[in-house]
A = this chain, B = another copy of it.
Amino acid sequence: MIIVIQCTDRVGLVAAISGLLAQQQFNITSMHEHVDNTANLFFMRLEVNKTGDVEGLEENLREILPAGAIIKINPLPEKKIIVLVTKEYHCLADILVRNYFKTLGASVQCVIGNHQTLQDICLRFDVPFYLVEATGDKAAFEQNIVNITEKYEFDHLVLAKFMRILSHDFVSRFPMQIINIHHSFLPAFAGASPYRQAYERGVKLIGATAHYVTDELDEGPIIAQQIIPADHSLTVPDMVKAGKEIETAVLARALKLVFDDRVFVYKNKTVVLE
Contacts and interface: CB of A to CB of B under 8 A. Distances in A.
A44 to B, nearest CB: 11
Nearest to A227: B227
Given A202-B221, A204-B225, A187 B189 contact: yes
A201 B187 contact: yes
A272 B232 contact: yes
Contacts of A142: none
Contacts of A101: 89, 93
Given A125-B124, A186-B203, A205-B207, A18 B11 contact: no
Interface stretch (A24-32, A63-71, A107-115): A24-32
A8 interface: no
A33 interface: yes
Contacts of A19: 15, 18-19
B11 A15 contact: no
Interface stretch (A128-136, A151-159, A263-271): A263-271
Interface residues of A, number: 58
Contact of A224 (B33, B125, B204): B204
A34 interface: yes
A124 B185 CA distance: 35
A127 to B, nearest CB: 11
Contacts of A33: 31
Contacts of A227: 185, 205, 227
Contacts of A235: 37
A187 B202 CA distance: 10
